[in-house]
Chains A and B, each alone.
Chain A
Amino acid sequence: MKRLVILLGMLGVVFLPPFVLADDLAGAIKQLDTKSYSKKVKAVNAIGEIDDPRVLDVLLALREGQLYIHKGNKNFVIGRGESSEGLVRIVDAVTGEKLDDIASGALSKIKINNRVRGAARTAISKIQLSAKDKSTRLNAVRNLIKSPDDKLRDLIVAALDNEENSEVIKGLNVALAFIDINSNDKKLRISAIEVLGETVEPRAVTILQDILSKDEEGNSEEEDSEIIRSAEKSLEKIESRTSLYEFIKNLFFGLSLGSILLLAAIGLAITFGVMGVINMAHGEMIMIGAYTTFFVQQLFPNWVGGSILLSIPLAFLASGLVGVVIERTIIRHLYGRPLETLLATFGVSLILQQLARTYNSNNVPVKAPDWLSGSWHINSVLEFNYVHMYIIVFSLIVLAVLTLVLKKTYLGLQMRAVTQNRAMANSMGIRSSWVDALTFGLGSGIAGIAGVALSQIGNVGPNLGQGYIIDSFMVVVFGGVGNLLGTFFGGVSLGIVNKFLEPQVGAVVAKIIVLVFIILFIQWRPRGLFALKGRFVED
């Protein structure tokens, strides 16, 4: 019912001239210009009653301390962060119109205390809970769960009456339970305990543990045995569900790390795995891809969503081209001398890093498009970032395309011919030197593509490549050289092992353990997980 009213109100916005509403808001907002906090509370309550989509902005700004009065014209403005010149970016609070940046000294902040903040909070929750958009309502519920406030109980109960979406209802019930758990009514408490038992909120665990806690003599602090029993049951439920979700979470983050490792290593699987060339500048090929993303974004500053897609082929070309040049000018002279190749490509890596540093010694900002930001929130334990989900998918696509290129294209056929028997391939008219250059270019280009993806999850700067080089080699060596399937399993399994170790021992120690494990593993199976077997392998 209430939503219907809001709907009508919003229709009204369309038909009525906006200044009428703006006047309403403009009138109410003026009441905030007072020293008395109780008057401010009243003003907030009045503003909360206005049916206007801009009210929310004003209240949020007030709560965040971003609502100001312009000292010159006494208009209300909302601060929107600092500009590059150190001025405050502002918009008009009533009209929403963008105004010229202004020095912070020309603004006076609307000061609030806890009571005002509470009033703003109630008003905000009320508006959000009655929003038409489901995700806004869900966000509001999540905030209520995060910081329960018994003053909002009536609001929640009212919202429950009007709510139709089951997910929101569930959330509201939990929010209610967090309030009712402290109630004096035993029935309410028990039902709250039961509701909490269906969640995985870490705070529910703390509350339930508090109920179950015992004093020094071993007596329960809670007197009611029924409540104790039901708390025990709920706690057990939460804990078993949480451990399941924790497992899924570790698995997801493991897969995510694995796909990152896979992306970083997959180009190396070509240059090192197929060609046997040690390319210590592989990390810098990734870096070039990441910088390409940055430059494309500089060219199309208003087209972040699409420019990242454009970056993928461009990064492939950029890194691939650099790869071909490195192969033609340096590596070509060093075939059959792997240790020297290692040193020379390390030199390339130093120079490329230093070039990036000469351009800009700091990290460069790469923006994330809207469709990559945000996450899929399932509950307080499980939350999947879109960017990580996309990277998992992306890495699999890259792997699949690469496999197809190797297996189905003429270039792939030539590559395999040259790596298996160079002399024979030459005598059949394959120009092996060009195949070498293209293969190396392919491996480098794929590293560039990886760079586009990795620019979305980490810093893009001169040191980006160094962070990946050792891991990439470990993945390829662990998986088995010359074997894309091995690289896939190598990356994914190392990622998962790492993420399952992390909660036990911490990130750094987990990484050390994985490194030591690989070092030992290589002793046991020097050819990696998926070793090629055969007479000629050893020679």
Chain B
Amino acid sequence: MSAEGSILYLSGVTKTFDGFKAINNLSLYIEPGELRAIIGPNGAGKSTMMDIITGKTRPDEGDVLFKNSIDLTKHDEADIANIGIGRKFQKPTVIESLSVWENLELALAGKRSVLDTLFYKLSKSQADRVDEVIDLIGLQQRRNETAKNLSHGQKQWLEIGMLIIQDPELLLVDEPAAGMTDFETMQTAKLLKNISEDHSVVVVEHDMDFVKALDTRVTVLHEGSVLAEGSLETVSNDERVIEVYLGR
């Protein structure tokens, strides 16, 4: 498999922590515009994989390429965010002391240098864009609310909103449905499907109903490498998958 035509390409990636192989010869190929779900039991290496893609962790070996040309292992988090990869954490992390509006303004695509932000002036179109995203994530009522007063689900959405407004080409979403009600979970699945229409999205999730609702190609991770890949139906019937994950 070559990196050609991919938006994200991992090949032979390995990462060891104190003798423990968190990621073991992992390979992954994401096409532009694809929505990919990644599942796997605890400790399968999902979060470490995200850390490696976003520059938080350096792999011991292996290639991590973005758009077949950019070596992500050579860049740090801020670089990678500006190259066009956005990430949502498992635990919702928004800027607690800022309002919903300010959180989105902060994430809004634009120049990120110190002097640019010091003399920054919000343009009309940018303000419109923020309002648009607030509508999209359904937080119109709470736009001036401080983020720490939001409910858990609202924080998740705000974070997704920050990801959207950042306008990355590839979105990495870590367990977006964690701690959500069933209704919220389905709303979130719908939201992600919407987003995937003009972005590439990789979703890591535990919740099988949520993965079902996404209705897309699934990769199963186990002990740091890919165990199976295909539609949810295919992988559900894979005997090894049943053994390590679903069966137990």
Contacts and interface: CB of A to CB of B under 8 A. Distances in A.
Nearest to A536: B17
A533 interface: yes
A232 B48 CA distance: 69
Contacts of B243: none
A535 interface: yes
Contacts of A534: 17-18
A461 to B, nearest CB: 45
A534 B48 CA distance: 11
A536 to B, nearest CB: 9
B201 interface: no
Contacts of B18: 533-534
A534 B47 CA distance: 13
A534 B20 CA distance: 9
A157 to B, nearest CB: 71
A533 B17 CA distance: 7
Interface string B13-39: 000011000100000000000000000
A283 to B, nearest CB: 34
Interface in A488-539: 533-535
A455 B232 CA distance: 71
Nearest to A535: B17
Contacts of A533: 17-18
A441 to B, nearest CB: 30
- Tell which of B18, B22, B47, B48 has the most Cβ of chain A within 10 Å: B18
Interface string B179-199: 000000000000000000000
A535 B48 CA distance: 8
B185 to A, nearest CB: 25
Interface string A427-439: 0000000000000
Contacts of B47: 535
A535 B45 CA distance: 11
Contacts of B48: 535
Contacts of B17: 533-535
B223 to A, nearest CB: 15
Nearest to B48: A535
A113 to B, nearest CB: 78
A535 B17 CA distance: 7
Nearest to A537: B17
A369 B22 CA distance: 57
Interface string A456-485: 000000000000000000000000000000
Nearest to A532: B18
Contacts of A535: 17, 22, 47-48
Nearest to B22: A535
- Tell which of B17, B22, B48 has the most Cβ of chain A within 10 Å: B17
Contacts of B22: 535
A533 B47 CA distance: 17
Nearest to A534: B17
Interface string A144-159: 0000000000000000
B60 to A, nearest CB: 12
A256 to B, nearest CB: 35
A423 to B, nearest CB: 15
Interface in A14-55: none
A368 B175 CA distance: 65
B221 to A, nearest CB: 15
Interface string B152-172: 000000000000000000000
A534 B51 CA distance: 13
A312 to B, nearest CB: 37
A53 to B, nearest CB: 69
Nearest to B91: A539
A533 B19 CA distance: 10
A265 B47 CA distance: 36
A137 to B, nearest CB: 61
A535 B224 CA distance: 14
A522 to B, nearest CB: 19
Interface in A384-430: none
Interface string B35-75: 00000000000011000000000000000000000000000
A533 B22 CA distance: 13
A36 B201 CA distance: 111
A535 B22 CA distance: 9
A93 B1 CA distance: 104
Interface string A291-319: 00000000000000000000000000000
Nearest to B15: A535
A534 B18 CA distance: 6
A232 B17 CA distance: 61
B59 to A, nearest CB: 13
A534 B17 CA distance: 5
A428 to B, nearest CB: 19
B178 to A, nearest CB: 17
A535 B47 CA distance: 10
A150 B219 CA distance: 97
B159 to A, nearest CB: 18
A535 B20 CA distance: 10
A534 B57 CA distance: 11
B15 to A, nearest CB: 9
Interface in A331-349: none
A178 to B, nearest CB: 63
A342 to B, nearest CB: 22
A234 B142 CA distance: 91
A502 B2 CA distance: 60
A440 B247 CA distance: 46
B218 to A, nearest CB: 25
A141 B212 CA distance: 96
A537 to B, nearest CB: 9
A533 B18 CA distance: 6
A532 to B, nearest CB: 8
A345 B150 CA distance: 34
B90 to A, nearest CB: 11
Nearest to B56: A538
B24 to A, nearest CB: 14
A104 B144 CA distance: 88
A534 B22 CA distance: 10
A535 B50 CA distance: 13
B232 to A, nearest CB: 28
A533 B60 CA distance: 14
B9 to A, nearest CB: 24
A226 to B, nearest CB: 69
A533 B16 CA distance: 10
A370 B150 CA distance: 70
8 contacts: A533-B17, A533-B18, A534-B17, A534-B18, A535-B17, A535-B22, A535-B47, A535-B48
The 7 closest A-B pairs by CB, nearest first: A534-B17, A535-B17, A533-B18, A534-B18, A533-B17, A535-B22, A535-B48
Interface of B: 17-18, 22, 47-48
Given A533-B18, A535-B17, A535-B48, 5 more contacts: A533-B17, A534-B17, A534-B18, A535-B22, A535-B47
